[in-house]
Structure 1
Amino acid sequence: MQKLLSLSMVAVLFAMASIASADDATTQKTKLETDAETQTPPSSIDFGRELGVSLQALSHLGRSIEDAQEEADPICIASAANILAVAESLSDGKKASLTSEQLWDEAILLAEMRKSSTELAALAKMTSGEKAADLMERSESAKTGEQAAAKADEAGETSRELDGDLHVINRSHDWVRIYVDGRYLGRIGPHQSGEVHLHDAHHLVGRGQYGHYWHEDIHGHRHHYDWVLRDPHDPHHH
């Protein structure tokens, strides 16, 4: 699995191992509490059976999709989407519980969250027509943003979004993988907490090992967030 990333947007260290308590969550200035959603893990989908198509590539496609999602890799997700699109074209109109269109939407959203002009351009090369043209436009826009961010860094300017500490409190029974703006930071164990210093953060995602998923968007300028990941079996879960 990936090591902790050192990025211009996400810097310093993701600290793990301190046990979270109720007091941890109540003593901070700004708190987000997120209920877990349950998603069907792609590795549990039998694409060949659901589509009625016999292709060896489908036997391990779900695991490949799940690995790409865990690694936050939009190119691998799009590659899996293209394999699935081929199978769909042979399926006499059948659709699986996860479709190539959904995977393509996920890949594009992830590349945009990562603000990667290169990844968006690569996605454009993996498709055609209006979608390819649109992705190239998004790539050029992202490139402009990358250049502006580089100049701001050189000038010592800081973002007006979250520029401070994110304290993640895991109240679930899952090991949770934490992502900020489509980039993997690290894992937090069950009933543990961790903290990271962030610049220019907008999208927070947690992926649990049992198909659980947490998501929050940050709006406005804050210096500190407590992000509490609620367990799906929490008696206060609603």
Structure 2
Amino acid sequence: MAPTLISKNDAADAAAICEAVTRPQMRFVPIKDEHQQATLTLHRTRQGFVEERTALYNRIRGLIAEFGIILPQKVERLRREIGAHLEDLPSWANRCVGDMLEHADRLDERIHEYDRAMAESAREDDRCRRLMQLPGIGPTSATALVASIGHGHDFKHGRQLAAWLGLVPGQYSSGGKARLGRITKAGDGYLRSLLVLGARAVLNSLGDKQDRHSRWARALVERRGYWRAAIAIAAKNARLCWAVLTYGEAFHLTADAA
């Protein structure tokens, strides 16, 4: 008997949705309250300003390179060295680059305002204050996590949260052989990037610290390399964040947990 071809239409979509919601393993997107939505709006707007600023500096570097002026990629050095070259640009080019630099200054001011707003919001929230006790979790990461997952009750355990953020290896297993690849990079890329940036901050600030967490991170870098260590720390922080949000005051961060 030949298989029946089901066309793509609204009725078929509705039937598929009804079938899906009856399955026991189906997971649903948690509903966010107004405070969470407002906080995420703050994050998305700030991130948009950051991306616009990055694109603006890249545009400046590309335009002045057409006149043979090559400057470093780092923003601090670009802003410090570009002043000496502005007079070498033709009139309209000089004015355009100056206007873009002024616009970048305004973006910097807006970004700093949003950073202060996030820091104030984090200080006023008990959950954020507990999250910021973890190494590599600052006001930006804490407020973003609370606004995105709330108390974390939609995840059964911390590893599920790490998997939702794409911080676990992808599986390519078949025939009884387990094969693990690169991280999946699934889920919310913004949260994942914040956790990875926090992990990199932990690695960059290790120095000569001899606490248990620092020794573990240092050994991980020596054994697996910098980037794999950063991903491992980010995944561990995701699991610890889930525990902090789920258990609240009942969860006590010990030296072994950190």
- Scaled to the shorter chain, the TM-score interval is under 0.3
**TM-score with structure 1 setting the length:** 0.28
**TM-score with structure 2 setting the length:** 0.26
Which has the bigger relative contact order, CA under 8 A and spacing at least 6? 1
Q: Give the structure with the higher percent helix.
A: 2
Q: Give the structure with the higher percent strand.
A: 1
Larger Rg: 2
